[in-house]
């Protein structure tokens, strides 16, 4: 129990670190931001696949029913970081950016027979961007004015979740589970207007919101034995959509450069922020524990959410639409308990296609194409031969002909400590 409390303390101290933004995407200026990857290290090697997977030595937070399969003698602690390089392209303009992020911290163990528990911290959304545009006044009609104006767009923040989940197997082959999460975070977005001529009025807008609410995720897994060596698992998930009880606001500041007087107006949003109802279904085929292949589909019902408008203000045309995501992937581990090192390595691959949840000025947001490949490398030393180092590389393309196109290359590193904390020693 002492080691469990120590692990919980380590997770608690990670809150401030995880609160850092892990994106430079201009698309994070819309909605709740860019959606975070809520998968662990072994899922990321398969590009986020996992609704039908249940592992005895890994934590699969994508489906809480999987906690029922955690090994009875193990305490599992998993932490992950990532680093990425992204190219942003709009017309003939190209810009590169780098990001590093502490992604997640999760832990899990067997609480009782057929009952597993997991807890940890996962990202939900990220907001992080900084760009500007500058033009001459009247340039569109051939004016000879030398005065220029600039609009600078910046944003920081995001939402995060700390969860406690349980997975229970009431009968052999059927498991159910639930994650209860505390969702918190905030964002600040600004549009600052400035002119080269100090005698021109400026207008700046600051959009802010703060969230403190709950999130509930439910999962089911049913495993059917096909042959002595083959089994098929069906995974189903459901996330409860609801309002977050947080009304965003916009602070509008008009500054008169001649008098030095600034007028401030506060605009309240017409609707609370909300998270969508999410449905997920996944299949996983397992052959002898050495070959696993899966397919996932998730539907996020963003179209049923009212987007906050600001009274007395006209805004860009932004709307929500349903998000669909398909993921295909798998893993090969020739022989998990072999004494040969390379026979114990987990080899993973995956690919995904997803639509965006945004519609901007009547145009659909970027479609997402991504592929990944990775390894689960066993850590072998004098006192531990059960832990894994999960390393994966991922390429993600956000493709939108009307707006910015993004190409990202990401490296994910996750370290899974698997200790025999609950073994009973016999003295002779």
pLDDT in tens, 97-106: 888 888 999 9
Residue with the bigger pLDDT between 113 and 138: it is 113
Contact 52, 221 (CB under 8 A): yes
Q: How far is CA 29 from CA 148, 157, 318, 373, in A?
A: 24, 10, 11, 30
Q: How far is CA 108 from CA 175, 223, 304, 398, 427, in A?
A: 16, 21, 34, 34, 28
pLDDT tens-digit readout, 138-190: 654 455 567 788 889 999 999 999 999 999 999 999 999 999 999 999 999 99
pLDDT score of 422:
54
DSSP per-residue string spanning 205-240 = EEEEEEEEEEEEEEEEEEEEE-SSSEEEEEEEEEE-
* Residue 72, pLDDT above cutoff 80: yes
Q: Which residue has the tokens 């107006």?
A: 265
Task: Name the nearest CA neighbour of 275 among 410, 157, 185, 368.
Answer: 185
Partner residues linked to 177 by β-bridges: 167, 219
Burial class (CB in 10 A: 0-12, 13-18, 19+), 390: buried
Percent of the chain with pLDDT over 70: 86
Domains of the chain by start residue, with CATH: 2-419 (2.40.160.60)
pLDDT tens-digit readout, 361-396: 888 889 999 999 999 999 876 556 678 999 999 999
pLDDT tens-digit readout, 309-341: 887 665 557 889 999 999 999 999 999 888 888
Which of the residue ranges 148-152, 237-241, 405-409 would you say has the lowest mean pLDDT?
148-152
Task: Name the nearest CA neighbour of 308 among 322, 324, 319.
Answer: 319
Residue with the bigger pLDDT between 231 and 137: it is 231
Total residue length of the chain: 428
Q: What is the mean pLDDT of residues 228-256?
A: 93
- Rg of the Cα atoms in the chain: 24
């Amino acid at each position: 129990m002492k080691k469990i409390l120590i692990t919980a303390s380590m997770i608690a101290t990670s809150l401030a670190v995880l609160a850092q933004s892990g994106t430079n995407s201009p698309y994070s200026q819309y909605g709740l931001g860019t959606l975070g990857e809520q998968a662990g290290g072994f899922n990321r090697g398969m590009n986020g696949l996992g609704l039908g997977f249940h592992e005895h030595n890994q934590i699969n937070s994508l489906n809480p029913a999987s906690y029922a399969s955690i090994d009875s003698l193990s305490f599992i602690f998993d932490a992950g970081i990532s680093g990425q390089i992204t190219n942003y392209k709009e017309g003939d303009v190209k810009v590169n950016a780098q990001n590093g992020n502490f992604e997640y911290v999760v832990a899990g163990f067997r609480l009782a027979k057929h009952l597993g528990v997991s807890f940890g911290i996962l990202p939900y959304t990220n907001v992080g961007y900084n760009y500007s545009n500058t033009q001459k006044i009247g340039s569109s009609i051939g004016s000879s004015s030398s005065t220029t104006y600039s609009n600078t767009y910046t944003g920081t923040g995001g939402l995060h979740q700390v969860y406690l989940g349980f997975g229970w197997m009431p009968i052999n082959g059927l498991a159910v589970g639930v994650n209860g999460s505390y969702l918190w975070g905030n964002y600040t977005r600004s549009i600052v207007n400035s002119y080269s001529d100090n005698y021109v009025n400026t207008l700046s807008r600051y959009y802010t919101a703060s969230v403190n609410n709950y999130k509930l995720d439910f999962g089911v897994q049913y495993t059917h034995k096909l042959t002595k060596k083959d089994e098929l698992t069906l995974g189903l998930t459901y996330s409860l959509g609801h309002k977050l009880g947080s009304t965003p606001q916009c602070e509008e500041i008009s500054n008169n450069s001649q008098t030095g007087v600034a007028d401030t107006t506060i605009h309240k949003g017409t609707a609370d922020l909300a998270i969508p109802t999410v449905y997920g279904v996944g299949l996983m085929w397992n052959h002898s524990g050495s070959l696993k292949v899966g397919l996932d589909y998730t539907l996020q019902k963003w179209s049923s959410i009212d987007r906050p408008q600001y009274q007395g203000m006209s805004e860009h045309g932004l709307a929500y639409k349903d998000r669909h995501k398909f993921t295909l992937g798998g893993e090969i581990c020739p022989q998990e308990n072999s004494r040969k090192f390379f026979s114990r390595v987990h080899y993973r691959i995956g690919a995904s296609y997803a639509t965006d949840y945004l519609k901007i000025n009547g145009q659909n947001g970027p479609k997402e194409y991504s592929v990944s490949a990775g390894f689960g490398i066993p850590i072998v030393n004098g006192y531990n031969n059960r832990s894994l180092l999960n390393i994966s590389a991922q390429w993600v393309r956000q493709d939108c002909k009307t707006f910015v196109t993004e190409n990202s290359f990401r490296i994910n590193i996750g370290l899974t400590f698997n200790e025999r904390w609950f073994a009973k020693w016999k003295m002779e």
